[in-house]
Amino acid sequence: SQTIHQWPATLVQPVGSPLSLECTVEGTSNPNLYWYRQAAGRGLQLLFYSVGIGQISSEVPQNLSASRPQDRQFILSSKKLLLSDSGFYLCAWSDGTGLYEQYFGPGTRLTVT
């Protein structure tokens, strides 16, 4: 069966510091991968998606970047965090065929202070 991992689970970082969040998927190959952000009390905002290694599409221009160095690894980064980067970050995968249903990881709670 497939599983998706995210770490860290929680993170408190000062403004201006760098960020690296990691997401890995097990039990499938060549998945589509997605990063979402959920601000407190709000819906989900798609940040990036990837259909293959090294292929990244950005949905919203901002302070963040994403990379996919391996087939089942997706990394969200920032060089300098802003207060507005605080939120709940969710990684998801889909098999890119059929119904396009996505499966979500447990999330990372980021607080920028």
Partner 1 sequence: GNSVTQMEGPVTLSEEAFLTINCTYTATGYPSLFWYVQYPGEGLQLLLKATKADDKGSNKGFEATYRKETTSFHLEKGSVQVSDSAVYFCALSWAGNTGKLIFGQGTTLQVKP
**Given the rule CB under 8 A, which residues bind partner 1?**
32, 34, 42-44, 46, 49, 51, 57, 90, 92, 94, 96, 99-107, 109
* Nearest approach, Cβ of residue 70 and partner 1 (Å): 19
Whose Cβ is closer to partner 1: residue 2's or residue 17's? 2
* Nearest approach, Cβ of residue 52 and partner 1 (Å): 11
> Does 69 sit behind a cis peptide bond, omega within 30 degrees of 0 on the bond before it?
no
What's the rounded Cα separation, in Å, for the pair 3 and 18?
27
What's the rounded Cα separation, in Å, for the pair 69 and 53?
6
* Nearest approach, Cβ of residue 49 and partner 1 (Å): 6
Whose Cβ is closer to partner 1: residue 69's or residue 97's? 97
Q: Which two tokens stand for residue 14?
A: 């000062």
Closest by Cα among 67, 82, 88 to 22: 67
